[in-house]
A and B are shown apart, each in its own frame.
Chain A
């Protein structure tokens, strides 16, 4: 009897590709097809990180999840989506679509009662990845607000510091002898 793990491994390329396409489907069609086509990582960072990330996360899930690898690739993907024209749920939804990608590729095999438990366990893992993705998303959004503040500060702090050094607080100054 084949295990889910074996099935997933056999169908890996198709599952990952489907997952990757689903991730790109958040973008309008013209954009998604450009991101599918272009393989150069510098000309197409969105497509590249998603292509690489979906593959790596899927493999990590199969191989007993080295959580650092998953987190690394999740960062790569979510960091981009966190500053794009998406709601939080749109930004994260690609993680959940792995479940559908798996079922779509396994077809009838996924219906085998033997598989149900294993699939459920797999779904649980995907959910954990999704939760991590939410955390990452929120961190990125917080960072964007911080960047905004620090940029404004950088524009004035040096000069204010120098002015204050020169015109020191009059209350602290020695009393005028006159």
Chain B
């Protein structure tokens, strides 16, 4: 036998036998490889207790023993039976997949990781294999031959790992000829895990906070007031305008609800300041609520019950304050909840009126039932009716692209309004490639409760397809900002861009609007809302004051 330093060693035929490929195994036999950077910390006992959830205990994902309740197996199987009878979609999705593979390479987590269990069809198969084994006649007899498998603790661990590697973004469902929505399967998977007390803290702590205080971050009423006042200070510094902050104002016309992410983290706070400026300029009769102080609803990522619990507070508060209708800020999954669940779950809100813009008189008929509209619908209507004084050239140093957030895009179908608004306030707008926007938009990789920092590696995998498209427009068209109307996006895409497309900043759409808007009584604008100097406008430049028509 030749040695590696002898040419014979490298005989072509021999080399052809060298195989780096991992041995081919059926997916069921590949054990789950849980390593730091890829999973989210488990839900703390104290949070589960607040919500009366079962099996509250502290545990770690890396523990061998996850301290499951003794009857965990029956709990899961009963839970599955219950959901199969309650939700027709779930039963259908379990039965009709023909494994055509159309969805296989459509998930951003698969595209970014190369892990086959991130193919939507296999993600669903994690649950379906149990369904087959225990709920179908063939599976009961033939087991593995019929694609069924035994429910073991390892299966539970695998579920926990992979159902928290799905951002419930629904991109895969766009490509499935049967309309199978893997996001719904993930939701079922998470609900079942919940029956055993298996939650992630990044979801269940916000849910507990929201349940107790009214928002995910647990900001108390006085804290919220302070935060909004700090924002008013910054607004004044940038524009010279002091905005009012109506809080819990009874009899206001509109209740405004936005994700609490807008209250603390950059760049969301700038979006929040922009809402305040816009409403001030319009003289809108609106109010914040310290109780319905989150438009987001992490209950959606937990279970139908918690979803409902958290959603109810918005209507309850609307009733208590006696408003006419509800306006929602730049949130992503808020709109999934409102368009797909709120009406049947908490509505119909007959005590409210169909939203009607006090500025333009436009009646938003499509919200006849929920009585709640999106800020971009509201703003687009204002611009269309010439109600805003705009100077888009103030944004000339920005070349912006638009990230369709999964939920407003795929769950709500709001594609044109944000684009219309951006085009009205920015002269340089560039679309990303067609197969990465609108219905086919790529997720930020941090939605559905994945947006924490301990699973950063996983998020960067999931965010890679989006980041890749951003970098393309950055290189081709000099894009330096990406607008997104979702608070999770504003937080997580910033990191995604820093890694995959460094140099591209993230902004809310309202921030672009506020920076382009000419406000009554504003001072010469030399700084934007981030209190950064606006390029091309020096402090002492003689700039003509906008004339009042």
Q: Report how far A146 CA is from B266 CA in the complex, Å.
A: 17
| Chain B residues whose CB sits within 8 angstroms of the CB of A84 once the complex forms | 112-114, 457, 461
- Contact residues in B for A162 (Cβ distance below 8 Å): 230, 233-234
Query: A1-9, A63-71, A150-158: which lies at the B interface?
Result: A150-158
Does B105 contact A155, Cβ atoms closer than 8 Å? no
* Interface pick from A53-61, A104-112, A127-135, A170-178: A104-112
A-B contact pairs, 19 of them (CB 8 A): A28-B115, A29-B22, A30-B119, A35-B114, A42-B469, A43-B435, A44-B111, A45-B112, A83-B457, A83-B464, A84-B457, A84-B461, A104-B15, A107-B12, A147-B495, A154-B491, A155-B491, A156-B264, A158-B266
Tell me the nearest residue of chain B to A93, going by C-beta.
B20
Closest to A102 in B: B10
Interface residue? A144 (CB, 8 A): yes
| Inter-chain contacts of A147 with B (CB < 8 A) | 456, 460, 495, 498-499
Compute how far the CA of A100 lies from the CA of B4 in the bound complex, rounded to whole angstroms: 11
Q: Mark A92-135, 1 if CB is under 8 A from B, else 0.
A: 01000100100111111011100110000000000000000000
B30, closest chain A residue (CB): A28
How many residues belonging to A are interface residues under a CB distance threshold of 8 Å? 54
Mark contacts of A12-55 with chain B using CB atoms, 8 A cut-off: 1 yes-contact digit, 0 otherwise: 00000000001001111111101100101111111000000000
List A residues at the B interface (Cβ < 8 Å): 22, 25-32, 34-35, 38, 40-46, 79-80, 83-85, 93, 97, 100, 103-108, 110-112, 115-116, 143-144, 147-148, 150-152, 154-159, 162-163, 166
- A103 to chain B: which residues have CB within 8 Å? 10, 12, 15
Across chains A and B, which 4 residue pairs bring their CB atoms closest together, nearest first?
A111-B7, A107-B12, A103-B10, A104-B15
- Interface of chain A: mostly helix, strand, loop or mixed: helix
Known pairs A45-B468, A100-B18; A155 contacts B7 (CB<8 A): no
In the complex formed, the residue of B with least CB distance to A99 is: B10
What chain B residues lie within 8 Å of A79 (beta carbons)? 499-500
List chain B positions with a Cβ less than 8 A from chain A.
7-8, 10-12, 15-16, 18-22, 24, 30, 33, 35, 37-38, 104-105, 110-116, 119, 226-227, 230, 233-234, 264-266, 269, 433, 435-436, 453, 456-457, 460-461, 464-465, 468-469, 472, 491, 494-495, 498-500
A42 touches B468 (CB 8 A): yes
Report A-chain residues with C-beta under 8 Å of the C-beta of B435: 40, 42-43
Contact call B21/A29, Cβ cutoff below 8 A = yes
> Which chain B positions have C-beta within 8 A of A26?
20, 114
Return the contact of B10 from the options A31, A34, A104 (Cβ within 8 A): A104
Bound-state CA distance A110–B499 (Å) is: 41
